Structure 1
Amino acid sequence: MSLKEFSATLRGATYRADVPEVIRLLEERAWPEQTLQLTGDALLVAVTSRAVNAHDLARACVERLDERGWDGDADLSEALAGRIGDRPQPLLRPLRVDLAELADVREGDPTRGGGRVNLATGQVWPQSVYEDFDADESDEEAEEEQSAGSRWLFVDPVGSRPGYRDMEVFIATLADEHLVEVLSDAIRGRGAFRRFKDALARDAEAHDRWYAFRDDRIRGRGREWLADQGYSPYPGPPPSST
């Protein structure tokens, strides 16, 4: 199974809370370094369901996350270790939110970025969509919405700098000197993101590694930001408080 297939299959099994499939996938192969955030999310679902072998897999993932140390890895490590009783559970409120959608509003164009998260549903609203919604509201609806501000978590844009840093870090992980040179040249100056993607398109293996790498970095940053706001992203139904 390729890295791309593994990531897609594990993501789907996590979303469906298909615990037997999660366990099968994680027991059958070594976990790619670029998928530890995704793997940890899958194991949060598995340990909550008390699946056989899930605790051992979770402990292995905690160890890997602690060793890697990317943004958000410590938060996921604490969440997993807390779920299996190895550490105190973080005092964070579970929120089912798509971390990729959150990244879109946090790391997009600062002039058009930002948005909010509905704390009841976890739905991410880009600011442009929400402004259209506001324009269609009646005065009474707008007043009710303003009074219910506690239902929303506002997301300020941080721009593309984290994404640019991802490219730099990814290039540093490559062993192919020619590819390193090509990609290093691609990210110089304006249009860096487009040139980087065009250059990667010529190397299928590096292309798949990049998208798995980028997805995990995005997940980690979103998780870390949410923890700072008092929330823990959860890939399945929020766990019981009992």
Structure 2
Amino acid sequence: MTGWDEPSLARLRAAAYRWDGAAGMDVLRDRPLGPVLQYAGDVLVAALEQDVPGAAAMARKCLEELDGRGLPGDAELAGDLSAALGAPRGPEPARVPVDLGALAAALDEPGPHAVDLRTGDVVPADEAGASFTDGLRYEPERWLVLWGEPGGDRGDEDRRRGRARRWLAEHGCRPGPRTL
């Protein structure tokens, strides 16, 4: 198979969510990386960290495509891939176990949301203990607060993930594996 059908995309999403490099590599084989670069990069970082055979060659190909494309989040993911390949492009930001899909959805919704830096959960800001009526009161070492932009970039899934990745990087963070 050389294309991306819905079952293949579902398997790739699941591998990225679980930070399962081997499963991600299995679904990436013989398929174009271009339509799924953000997911591909995440599973390849995991695959490199987990010493999955063949990950380095595929990661270099993904890195080349990310560098050539230049969409929001591509430079940040390229930095993560470079670091995983042993050639960091700069300081490594702190990892947050956030689901980039949930973060992208919050960026598209009106009003304040917060990212829990410990769990990666994305919740309405009032659930994070933030009050916007008497000034902001919350634990800044635990939460990142964001204001969604209705009508923002509601492009394809890869672009939305990239936008979320860029937002995290602007706050000194990068996505990492989620745990229960």
Matched, 1:224 2:166: yes
1:149 aligns with 2:150: no
Letter in 2 for 1:70: L
TM-superposed CA distance for 1:118, in Å, is: 0.8
Query: In the TM superposition, what are the counterparts of 1:41-52 in structure 2 within 5 Å?
Result: 41-52=42-53
The runs of 5 or more residues in structure 1 that have no matched partner are 136-145, 167-213, 238-242
Contact conserved, 2:19 with 2:42, CA < 8 A, in 1? no
Conserved 8 A contact 1:83-1:89: no
Alignment partner of 1:56 is 2:47: no
Structure having greater relative contact order (Cα 8 Å, sep ≥ 6) = 1
Q: Distance in 2 between matches of 1:153 and 1:9?
A: 30
SS at match of 2:115: strand
Tell me if the contact between 1:14 and 1:41 (Cα under 8 Å) persists in the aligned partners. Answer: yes
What is the alpha-carbon distance in structure 2 between the residues aligned to residue 78 and residue 54 of structure 1?
16
Residue 30 (structure 1) aligned with residue 32 (structure 2): yes
Deviations 1:139-184 (Å, cap 9, x if unpaired)?
xxxxxxx563321111112221322xx3xxxxxxxxxxxxxxxxxx
Aligned residues: 172
Separation of aligned partners in 2, 1:231 and 1:35: 22
Q: Would you say 1:99 and 2:100 are equivalent positions?
A: yes
Q: Structure 2 vs 1, CA of residues 100 and 147 (structure 1 numbering), >3 Å: closer, same or farther? A: closer
For 1:14 and 1:35, locate their aligned partners in 2 and report how far apart those are by CA, in whole Å: 11
1:126 equivalent in structure 2? 124
Cα deviation 1:63-105 (Å, max 9, x = unaligned): 0111111111111011101111133353300111011111222
What displacement does 1:6 show?
A: 1.6
* Structure-to-structure mapping, 1:60-99, within 5 angstroms: 60-99=61-100
What value does the CA root-mean-square deviation take over the aligned residues? 2.3
- From 12, 15, 18, the equivalent of 1:16 is 18
- The 8 Å contact of residues 113 and 122 in structure 2, kept in 1 or not, is answered as yes
Contact 2:120 / 2:178 at 8 angstroms: preserved in 1?
Answer: no
- Supply the AA of the counterpart residue of 2:94: R
Moved more, 19-28 or 49-58: 19-28
TM, length-normalised to structure 1: 0.64
The residue type equivalent to 1:50 in the other structure is D
Higher helix fraction: Structure 1 or Structure 2?
Answer: 1
Counterpart of 2:9 in structure 1 is 7
The percentage of counterpart residues that share the same residue type is: 35
Amino acid at match of 1:125: V
Rg larger in 1 or in 2? Answer: 1
User: TM-score with structure 2 length normalisation?
Assistant: 0.85
